[in-house]
Amino acid sequence: MSRRGGGVRGTRRWWASIGAAVLTVAVVSSCSVDIYLGSGRVDADESTAPAPTDGTVRPQRVANNGERLILDEEFAGTELDAGVWNTCHWWDEGGCTIATNDELEWYLPGQVRVADGVLRLTAERRDAIGADGEYFPYVSGMVSTGPPVHQAPAKLAFTYGTVEVAFRAPLGAGLWPAVWMLPASESSKPEIDIFEAVGQRPRTAGMYLHPSPESGTERSFHHHQLPPGEDLADTHVVRLQWSPERLDFFFDGDKVWEVTGPQVPDEPMYLVINLAVGGEYGGTPDPAAFPATFEIDYARIWSGGAR
């Protein structure tokens, strides 16, 4: 979700130089850190779920290489689990946005809904005034497992492991859905973009790594093209496997990209899922695309394990 132009992104970081947050975490092993306060926590020995017979998406429930399943979120019920999720970034002031991307949305809790086992983040054409008095022509929704406020611990952060998310993305110019990760320290980099897209490119899924400045490397990216007859409005599953000096990106079960070397993050990070509007990457919105909804069927995180 960093600031990007055209097919490549620039730096996305907004509050990048603000001091590191005080992070309270439980150290699980020498190469993993995680915290969890919500009801979605499950035990690592949970068995594989029966294979679905109705075509529905079912997550992989078996730990990978000894990893521990620390988030098992199927969005049951009608309320977002506030022990796990925020509905804004940590600079929440009655809403939030990412100003350095020139985004057009103001994120509000009312644009986040849970029903029928689905998380829905909805963007609408509606006037909003931000905390600094700035005008925004759209409202939208996001969720994060990061710090709820400045210098607070992340609600769920981990170092090394696996993230898997099933989704259906909205189509239409100016829509910018994303599944990504940020440092629990509140730094702006490194950033791992597991998935992002723009609605005017309905068959292109982007993956990016924005490394920390200390790595001495430039950002890298991959654009995965969906096969004929498919688009991002169909149900898809993205997966990131993160280990020391290695990132493996999967789309619908197929490995489509990898990044190796010292630029791979080695610090606690948290998950963000959002639907942005416009901006340098999203482009000019098509009024006919609204309202638009980014639907999430499930989110799972495994932490630690031998690699």
DSSP states of 117-176: TEEEEEEEEEEEE-TTS-EEEEEE-EEESS-SSTTPPPSS-BSSEEEEEEEE---STTEE
Radius of gyration of the chain (CA): 18
Whether the per-residue pLDDT at 54 is higher than 60: the answer is no
- Model pLDDT for residues 229-263, shown as the tens digit of each residue: 999 999 999 999 999 999 999 999 999 999 999 99
- Per-residue pLDDT at 42 exceeds 50: no
More confident residue, 19 or 229: 229
Judged by average pLDDT, the poorest of 16-30, 157-171, 269-283 is 16-30
* Distance set, CA 261 to CA 61, 190, 207, 252 (Å): 29, 14, 17, 25
Cβ 297 vs Cβ 235: under 8 Å: yes
Give the contacts of 25 (CB within 8 A, at least 6 positions apart): 33, 34, 35, 153, 157, 184, 268
Q: For position 2, what pLDDT does the model report?
A: 59
Residue 24 has pLDDT above 60, yes or no: no
CATH topology of domain 30-42+63-303: Jelly Rolls (2.60.120)
> Could you tell me the pTM of the whole model?
0.82
Look up residue 279 and give its DSSP letter: H
Indicate the DSSP class of residue 242. E
Residue 151: predicted pLDDT: 96
Please report which confidence band the pLDDT of residue 61 belongs to, taking 50, 70 and 90 as the band edges. Answer: low
